[in-house]
Amino acid sequence: MGIGSKVRRLALLAGMAACAFGLSAAQAAEKHKIFLSMSYIGNDWQAEAANMVKAMAAHKSLADKVDLQVQVAGPNAQRQIQQINAMVQSGAEAIVVYPISPTALNQVVKNACDKGVKVFAYDAEITEPCAYNVHIDQLEAGRVTAEWLVKKLNGKGNIIAITGVPGTSVDDQRTKAAKEVFAKYPDIKIVGEAVGMWSQAVARTELSKILATRNWDDINGLWMQVGCFTANSMQLEAGKKTSELLPCAGEGSNGGRIQMLPEGTEVEGAAAPYAPAGAQRISYASPPYSGALALKLAVEAIEGKDVPKTTILPLPLVTNETIKLCDEGTWAEMKAGCNAFKPSLVSNPGWFASIFSDQTPEVGLNAALVGQPEN
Amino acid sequence: MSSAAASSPATGGVGLRRALMRNRGALIAAAVLAILLFVVDWISAGPLTYFDVSFLSSGGATSALAAIGQTIVILSGGFDLSAGAVISLVNAVLASSMDPMAPGASIILWTAVGIGVGMAVGAFNGFFIAVLRMQPIVVTLSTMFILQGVTLLVMDKPGGFVSPDLGTFYLGDAIAGWLPMPLVVIGVVLLAWFWLKGTRFGTALYAVGSDPDSAASVGINVVLVRFAVYVIAGGCYGLAGVFISAQTGSGDPLVGNPLLLSMFAAVVVGGTRLGGGQGGPVGSVFGAYILMIVVNILLVLNVSAYYSTIAEGTILVLAALAGSISHASVLAVQLRAARARLAAWRAGILPSQLERVDRRLKIAEPAHAQRNPASPRPAFHLRNAETLRYALPAYVCLLLIVVVTQVWLGRAILNPGYWNSLLVLSSFLAVLALGQGTVILTGGLDLSVPWTIGISGIILAGMVNGSDAALVYALPVVLVMACAIGFANGFGIVYLGISPIVMTLATNGILQGCALLYSQGTPAGFSSPMLRWVMTAKLAGLLTPIVLLMVVFVVAAVLLLGRTPFGRRVYGIGNGLRAARLSGIGVERTLILVYMLSAVCAAVVGVMLTGFSGQASLGMGDDYLLPSIAVVVVGGALITGGRGHYLGMLGGVLLLTALQMLLAGTTLPYATRAILYGLVVLGAVMALRERRLQ
């Protein structure tokens, strides 16, 4: 090997290095610093939503563009205020936030907006006008589910209502809208009402308390924000046949969805009560993909695209007519219309199954389970 | 303070040292805060600017103001659980009564309204605690429930309007570019405190906190001092409520509630001793800022979400440890004692190495053998008068609630299903009451209950995954893990000298992180058929198997606390740590066992809840912390330890469960239920009033 070739090679290497250096510098400059400020992560919904946001950030379409940092504020609004301030200080371009309070963050969010930071709230809303909001219409959720129940009962019967966390806007809107519907039918009577805190476990204790002085036979229907899976399980334990299960308007947990499948359907990993029972249901949810979508929109907003201040997500509704079991849970499969997952894949029946959106082909079942994006 | 100033130059050094010693807690908290600030400055990209300091000062101000009030209560020997609820109430009141159309708002007027609301609540607390001599923890817990209901009546969802004028004033600069307003507000409150401390009232406050009996006998009006303490503290919470209103510009009926636990942590980190008589609000202010600045540290270090509660717990323990570094700290004492034991062992003079001779006094016969048949044993109700006096009220109230249920809802007394549900729903708290109750009998408190329940349930469900066979090894694994958790709690408290509240609060955070890491956010697995059968089946259509197990458990619990050496040691420690140690009780070993018992009870509840719900979920233990404390106290136990009977606690469990069942059967709105719940608890413990001071 002559000296000439050596020099050539060195020059080539140097050129390549320069090239690579230039590239990486350009890439670093392009990466957007985005923060996720979560609330309390001690429940299934929050953890699932966080997984989906992480998966979105890791998807090949965004991985080169986004530098995502996730922080938890706990249930304390004061800490979230402090956290958002600190995020603005450390140079955030956008902040995706699960707001602990729709109003308490207004000042700090306004502050962030003034500094040019885009603030995206998912699931719940921030009332400060400069914030972007991504959520479902909670009034619609309350109304549609109540109307379904009234229709199932032919406008007559005793119902039990299990609400969410008192003092939150989401609970207030859903419950108010539903009660307005029930008020139109004088023969529909709410005979029991309890606070379910959006938890299957709480729903069970509250239902047990109500049923201590009542009988399943005195009740004709159930309206619950979370807890239909539990209510059905309790009726089966009390010796009811699957054909006698009361109609239940409620949440989009996978357990509830599996129970909606016609009895006798072959489902891998199913074991009673997490098994097909032909339960009469309407299943709705605040979809946990909203955080992932918010992140995607945030990147678009940073890149200068026009993003509307409010994105109202279509209300994911599943009834016995539209229920369909997924095979693997890829986005493509869900696009084709499936909306329930095998217990062998999702072992937690309380897991929220409304993870499909037309707008987020980056995330499927694996995103929600383990934070892994689609290919 | 004044003694240091007045002392002559020759003794100035001593006076200074004494002043330093007296304020050691606050000084160390200040040093820790300074170090943390330095750390933030060092690891973050830019230098700390005035802007950052201004943000930090407003971020921690609400907690700091509330912590000042809480400290004053704790100094007087009390305890105030209503603090967070007062902040929410003031926020709701301000946000719902300010007029958005009005051109400007009077800062003085609205601040006065906020402080006034707080003081009114304080007067309510003070009346029951000082005048009726009831235990602060139950009174303020009831107040908390009542206030949460009232707040929801004032404002049922977030919204409302707080004038920006308030924000401009409270969050602005006192001296532009130099001094942020929040620090001035805190400073003014602290100055007021220093003035108060110098008055006769201040001296009386410390005296009452140190020893109410002595205070009363030197002529201090203990009732008045206690009453005033709660009113003043209420004012501080009120001001904190005004501040958070200014900061957020609107109302949220839930905004203050989560501040409660961190407030206690701030007080303890700031060097104030729970139980009263030692410490001061200055340290608590530093404590509040230490807890707040942790948020920034986690952000700068980019600690992953699942690890954040672990990091917080660790920082809490480290801060508490740093606060206790001194020659007299528990850790140092323990190390010296260990060294002394080692030396004694080398020299061969440890008691266990000496020749064992029975040196007991030869008292002729055990006393009971000599009982004169002419004077029979006193009747049962006389022998157990003390226990009955404290345990009976819960049962009397339970009876009343059951009768009301029968009249109002029907189908109670003659309905076996009602009794079965009552016992099944009570079983969780009945088990927790043994653990928490024993801890409280020793004068401690276990705040790690929620996530001990959570992680036990999650691990059990994950291992069992629907198989009865797996239960055989999963159950022991979970219980051994619980023993380890309890041991860690006990070790930290006994050997490192960390206060039970801080230690168990930190453990709770660390366990939450572990549960999230283990489950990756979605707990897998479900309960086995047998476990579900135990919790939900109906034998002969009437009786759930767990009820039978509960009977066995209750008998075992009564025997454990009443008839074993362990039980007697627990009461001994609760009645006086020093006396217990001098009478040869292995205090360290017993305390560690107590915390292990509590953790095991919590783990059992986790397993039971998993069986009851069919699966485990994150946060499933969250609703059991305050009730576990409430039932113990409603059942007649003394929160400072030494008094209480398990049967009384069981009465408390049944009473609260029956009350909840009654309220759940009605269609009353949630706010009304919360108020009723608080009032009934308050009424139930009226009978537990302390005897009038002699």
Give the per-residue pLDDT at B364. 57
A164 Cβ contact partners less than 8 Å away, ≥ 6 residues apart: A170, A171, A174, A175, A195, A196, A197, A198, A225, A226
- Give yes or no for residue A16 having a pLDDT over 50: no
Q: Which two tokens stand for residue B238?
A: 């009120």
Q: Is B623 on the interface with A (CB under 8 A)?
A: yes
- pLDDT range class, residue A26, cuts 50, 70, 90: very low
pTM: 0.90
Which residues from chain B sit within 8 angstroms of residue A101, using beta carbons?
Answer: 158, 248, 252, 254-255
Q: Which residue of chain B has the CA closest to A40?
A: B619
- The verdict on a CB contact (< 8 Å) between A104 and B609 is no
Q: Which residue has the higher pLDDT, A223 or B619?
A: A223
Q: Is B259 on the interface with A (CB under 8 A)?
A: yes
In order of B580, B605, B609, the CA distances from B483 in angstroms are 24, 14, 19
Give the per-residue pLDDT at B2. 40
Q: Which two tokens stand for residue B62?
A: 């609400």
Nearest CB to B521: which of A47, A73, A190?
A: A47
Instruction: For residue B132, count other CB atoms closer than 10 A to its CB.
Output: 14
Which residues from chain A sit within 8 angstroms of residue B424, using beta carbons?
Answer: 208
Q: What CATH architecture is B12-302?
A: Orthogonal Bundle (1.10)
Q: How far is B279 from chain A (nearest CA, A)?
A: 26
Lowest mean pLDDT among A95-104, A245-254, B16-25: B16-25
Give the per-residue pLDDT at B48. 77
What does the CA dihedral B438, B439, B445, B448 come to, rounded to 10 degrees? Answer: -100
- The verdict on a CB contact (< 8 Å) between A274 and B670 is no
B12-302 and B387-686: identical CATH topology: yes
Give the per-residue pLDDT at B7. 41
- Give yes or no for residue B369 having a pLDDT over 60: no
Contact present, B289 and B33 (Cβ < 8 Å)? yes
Return the axis-axis angle of helices B24-43 and B12-22, rounded to nearest 10°.
70
Q: Which residue has the tokens 């066979």?
A: B469
For CA atoms A236, A239, A243, A246, the dihedral sign is negative
Of these ranges, A66-75, B11-20, B42-51, B471-480, the one predicted with the greatest mean pLDDT is B471-480
Q: Which residue has the higher pLDDT, A141 or B12?
A: A141
A258 Cβ contact partners less than 8 Å away, ≥ 6 residues apart: A267, A270, A274, A275, A276, A325, A340, A343, A349
DSSP per-residue codes, B254-319: TSSTTHHHHHHHHHHHTTPPTTSSS--HHHHHHHHHHHHHHHHHHHHHT--HHHHHHHHHHHHHHH
Burial of residue A187, with CB atoms counted within 10 A of its CB: 0-12 exposed, 13-18 middle, 19 or more buried: exposed
The residue ranges of every structural domain in chain B are 12-302, 387-686
Contact present, A131 and A109 (Cβ < 8 Å)? yes
Q: How far is B259 from chain A (nearest CA, A)?
A: 7
3-state secondary structure (DSSP) of residue B629: helix
- Give yes or no for residue A319 having a pLDDT over 60: yes
DSSP per-residue codes, B536-605: H--BTTTB-HHHHHHHHHHHHHHHHHHHSHHHHHHHHHHH-HHHHHHTT--HHHHHHHHHHHHHHHHHHH
Backbone angles phi, psi at A190, to 5 degrees: -85, 105
Nearest CB to A101: which of B158, B308, B515?
A: B158
Chain A interface, mutation test: which of B613, B620, B625, most A Cβ atoms within 10 Å? B613
Q: Which residue of chain B has the CA closest to A72?
A: B305
Backbone angles phi, psi at A325, to 5 degrees: -80, 135
- The verdict on a CB contact (< 8 Å) between B615 and A69 is no
What is the distance of C-alpha A47 from the center of its chain? Answer: 10
Phi-psi region of A313 (alpha: psi -120 to 50; beta: other; left: phi over 0): beta
Give the per-residue pLDDT at B455. 96
DSSP-assigned beta bridge partners for residue A70: A36
Q: Which residue has the tokens 């607390």?
A: B125
- Summarised one tens digit per residue, pLDDT across range B400-458 is 999 999 998 888 888 888 999 999 999 999 999 999 999 999 989 999 999 999 999 99
The predicted model gives B680-686 an average pLDDT of: 86
The predicted model gives A33-39 an average pLDDT of: 92
Burial of residue A26, with CB atoms counted within 10 A of its CB: 0-12 exposed, 13-18 middle, 19 or more buried: exposed
Q: Which residue has the tokens 């000296």?
A: A3
- Give yes or no for residue B225 having a pLDDT over 60: yes
Among residues 72-91 of chain B, which lie with CB inside 8 Å of chain A? none
Q: How far is B517 from chain A (nearest CA, A)?
A: 11
- Summarised one tens digit per residue, pLDDT across range B58-111 is 989 999 999 999 999 999 988 899 999 999 999 999 999 988 887 777 899 999
Nearest CB to A233: which of B262, B614, B661?
A: B614
Report the top-level CATH class of B387-686.
mainly alpha
% of chain A with per-residue pLDDT over 70: 92
A335 Cβ contact partners less than 8 Å away, ≥ 6 residues apart: A356, A358, A361
Query: b/e for B655-671, b at 16 or more Cβ within 10 A?
Result: bbbbbbbbbbbbeeebb
- Beta-carbon pairs below 8 A across chains A and B: 239
Lowest mean pLDDT among A105-119, B322-336, B420-434: B322-336
Instruction: For residue B234, count other CB atoms closer than 10 A to its CB.
Output: 30
- Give yes or no for residue A53 having a pLDDT over 50: yes
Give the per-residue pLDDT at B104. 76
- The verdict on a CB contact (< 8 Å) between A71 and B661 is no
The predicted model gives B374-402 an average pLDDT of: 82
Give the per-residue pLDDT at B265. 84
Name the residue among B205, B247, B287 with its Cα closest to residue B87.
B247
- Summarised one tens digit per residue, pLDDT across range B185-220 is 999 999 999 999 999 999 999 899 888 889 999 999
Amino acid at site B187: G
Burial of residue B107, with CB atoms counted within 10 A of its CB: 0-12 exposed, 13-18 middle, 19 or more buried: middle
For CA atoms B628, B631, B632, B638, the dihedral sign is positive
